[in-house]
Structure 1
Amino acid sequence: MAINETGMIPERKRSTDSERGRDLYARQNLKGGTVLMQEKDIEKKLRIGIKGIGGLCLKWVSPGYTGVPDRMILLPGGIIRFAELKAPGKTERKRQIVVQRILRHMGFIVYNSVDSVDKVQHIVAECKEVIQHNE
């Protein structure tokens, strides 16, 4: 330990959790000078895109039933879709895959591993087409 000129051990500056989180995020996500998007950023783009075409993109939390997709997409005409969002490079857990299979078997459309702006744009475009087809 370093002792300063007064003979005391200087107090170390402590970083806050948010500072540590930002630093960790920057270190983990810098690859070739490009910062990858976080899951929350992808979620926000999907929510805004679906709202822009007249739908709702609600966060789905189901206490007591694990593995449900992150977002429930509600479109005019009573149409429901589901989306599982992931950070780039991440994949679903086994339980999430099982639940997606159950939902698809029931006739629902489930978008899995939505981890990029391109996939979000594809979903929004597809949902827009479904809305126009049902008008």
Structure 2
Amino acid sequence: MRERDLERYTTMVIKSHGGLALKFISPGCAGVPDRLVLMPGGKMCFMELKAPGRKPRPLQVWRIEQLRALGFKVYVVDGKEEIGGIINAL
């Protein structure tokens, strides 16, 4: 599965649970996660989506650690089977 296919699937599943999976682009701030996930009840997280077996680049790892240090939930996802568990964890 390619990363873009995982993004489409993730967006579809999040929407089916009443949420939004917004493409997160921050000009001038490299390495931000791919998606900002907003769920009913004010629950949110960031998702970095990767093709199966792929890992985040060093800058992405640094940015993920920075967001987690600020108290945000950030998930690195490389398979469809992970999405349901993340939704349940929110």
Q: Please, what TM-score do these two structures have when normalized by structure 1?
A: 0.63
Residue 17 (structure 2) pairs with residue 44 (structure 1) = no
Aligned residue for 2:44, secondary structure, equals strand
- What is the aligned counterpart of 1:123 among 67, 83, 86? 86
Structure of higher RCO (CA pairs closer than 8 Å, 6+ residues apart) = 2
CA shift, 1:119, in A, is 1.2
Name stretches of at least 5 consecutive residues in structure 2 with no aligned partner.
none
- Alignment length (residue pairs): 90
CA RMSD of aligned residues (A): 1.2
Based on CA coordinates, which of the two structures has the bigger radius of gyration? 1
Percent identical: 46
Q: Please, what TM-score do these two structures have when normalized by structure 2?
A: 0.92
- Which amino acid is the alignment partner of residue 111 of structure 1? Y
Distance between the aligned counterparts of 1:44 and 1:123, measured in 2? 16
Name stretches of at least 5 consecutive residues in structure 1 with no aligned partner.
1-36, 128-135
CA shift, 1:79, in A, is 2.1
Query: Hey, which bits of structure 1, 4+ residues long, moved more than 4 A?
Result: none
Residue 51 (structure 2) pairs with residue 87 (structure 1) = yes
